[in-house]
Amino acid sequence: MSKTKKKVKEEQIEKSTPALRILKKDVLSEGFIHLSRVTAEVTGRDGRPLKLTREVYHHGNVAAILPVDRKRHTALLVRQWRIPLWLNGYKEPLLEATAGIIDDGETPEACAMREVIEETGYAVSNVRNIAEVYTSPGTLTERLYLYLADYDESSKRNDGGGLRSEGEDIEVVELGIPALKDMATRGEILDAKTLILIHAL
């Protein structure tokens, strides 16, 4: 592609990108999850202003990690109850990759390594960033950092299970990677972050 054509394309992209201005932000709740009502004005593609109001959930960014034993062809996951899923009709514990909210001043990778020891009891190595995604951009500010890592039988540090003080009672599940991929193909893995990580194997 020539420099002239590339420049024209960039200008077209810039012209088609609407501007957004926050007009008002009302805090509705400040519990574990912060909920606010935000009113904004965007400039539409036709150049006219458009006002919109949205309720936005803030609980911080999240890191998720799937440890893999390459020699034994296994992966470590966790299974736990998720109340929102129960309310939406899913009446059993969810099988998923380890994940947690990133603390202030903590890097996503450090969060992932901390959470995997808390939840599975295994230390990991060779941590690799797979992707960074927004999980539900219509309502959440959450940015999700996804990692694969290595573990083996000598990596176990404790029994895992999460932190009782945080209401966690987590089952550690080790599955063969072929079986895990089959479960994903059959639609038995319902957690989005876990599906992304499985497809990255």
Mean pLDDT computed over 133-155: 96
Q: End of a domain among 58, 73, 98? A: 58
Same domain, 192 and 169: yes
CA angle 183, 186, 190 (to 5 degrees): 70
pLDDT in the model for residue 163: 72
Q: Residue 122 gets which letter from DSSP?
A: B
pLDDT of residue 6: 42
Task: List the beta bridge partners of residue 77.
Answer: 173
75 plus 104 within the same structural domain: yes
The token pair that represents 19 in the structure block: 């501007």
Residue % of the chain over a pLDDT of 70: 89
What's the average model confidence in pLDDT over 174-189?
Answer: 98
* Residue 195 C-alpha from the chain's centroid: 11
Q: Which of 141, 142, 117, 111 is nearest to 129 (CA)?
A: 111
Chain length of the chain: 201
pLDDT tens digit string along 97-133?
999 999 999 999 999 999 999 999 999 999 999 999 9
Whether residue 41 is found in the same domain as residue 81: no
Please name which of 122, 124, 118, 120 lies closest in space to residue 166, comparing C-alpha atoms.
118
Q: How many CA atoms within 13 Å lie on the side-chain side of 90?
A: 13
**123 lies in the same domain as 186:** yes
Q: Which of 144-155 are b and which e, b meaning 16 or more Cβ less than 10 Å from the residue's Cβ?
A: bbbbbbebbeeb
Residue 19 or residue 186, greater confidence: 186
Residue 123: give its domain's CATH number.
3.90.79.10
* 105 and 70 part of one domain: yes
Q: What is the pLDDT of residues 21-35, one digit of tens each?
A: 999 999 999 988 999
**Continuous H helices in the chain:** 3-15, 83-87, 108-120, 177-185, 192-199
For residue 92, pLDDT over 80 is answered with yes
Q: Is 126 left (phi over 0), alpha (psi -120 to 50) or beta?
A: left
CA-to-CA distance for 77 and 173, rounded, in angstroms? 5
Q: Is 194 exposed, middle or buried (0-12, 13-18, 19+ CB in 10 A)?
A: buried
Question: In the prediction, which pLDDT does 18 show?
Answer: 58
20-30 and 34-43: which strand pairing? antiparallel
Q: Are residues 33 and 99 in the same domain?
A: no
Query: Is beta strand 171-176 parallel, antiparallel or unpaired with respect to 74-80?
Result: antiparallel
Residue 3 has pLDDT above 80, yes or no: no
Which domain, by its residues, includes 52? 3-58
Counting Cβ atoms within 10 Å, is residue 122 exposed (0-12), middle (13-18) or buried (19+)? buried
Q: Specify the pLDDT at position 2.
A: 40
| Domain shared by 105 and 35, yes or no | no
Are residues 109 and 178 both part of a single domain?
yes
192 and 114 in a common domain:
yes
Confidence of residue 186 (pLDDT cuts 50, 70, 90): very high
Interaxial angle between packed helices 192-199 and 177-185, expressed in degrees from 0 to 180 and rounded to the nearest 10: 120
